[in-house]
Amino acid sequence: MKTSIFNTIENILKIPFVEEGFEVGSVCFANDEEVRADFKLQFTTYDVVNYVYGIYQWHWEGNKKIELSLLKIPYPENDKFFWKYANLGKKFRLEHPIKEMEFLAITALNWESIP
């Protein structure tokens, strides 16, 4: 079942959220690391987790270390903003896994509302 967080991001990105981990479609190499994000036809929970890691990295690199549960996660301004931070976050997640993230649901994070 979709939550309002996924619905909101879906409306911003103008592509559907799917609960499955893998993309489906007729595009060859749809899951390839080299495929540009603006060609994606859907997004998953993993993309949102990577986005959160990207936002966390931005705070972390600015020496504003903060507990993940206290971090305010902004809804993306647009699809380019989302995919930029999702891609950065994926790399950061692999290098610096956040133990706290294993125990928090995406919906339990502090999402900033859209004005």
What pLDDT is stored for residue 50 in this prediction? 94
Cβ–Cβ under 8 Å, residues 84 and 65:
no
What pLDDT is stored for residue 1 in this prediction? 42
Predicted TM-score (pTM) of the model is 0.81
**Secondary structure element (H or E) that encloses residue 91, with its range:** helix 79-95
Cβ–Cβ under 8 Å, residues 35 and 29:
yes
Two tokens, residue 41: 């036809």
Q: Where are the domains of the chain?
A: 4-112
- What is the pLDDT confidence band of residue 23, given thresholds at 50, 70 and 90? very low
What pLDDT is stored for residue 97 in this prediction? 86
Q: Give me the mean pLDDT over the 36-47 stretch.
A: 82
Q: How many CA atoms lie within 13 A of 66 on its CB side?
A: 16
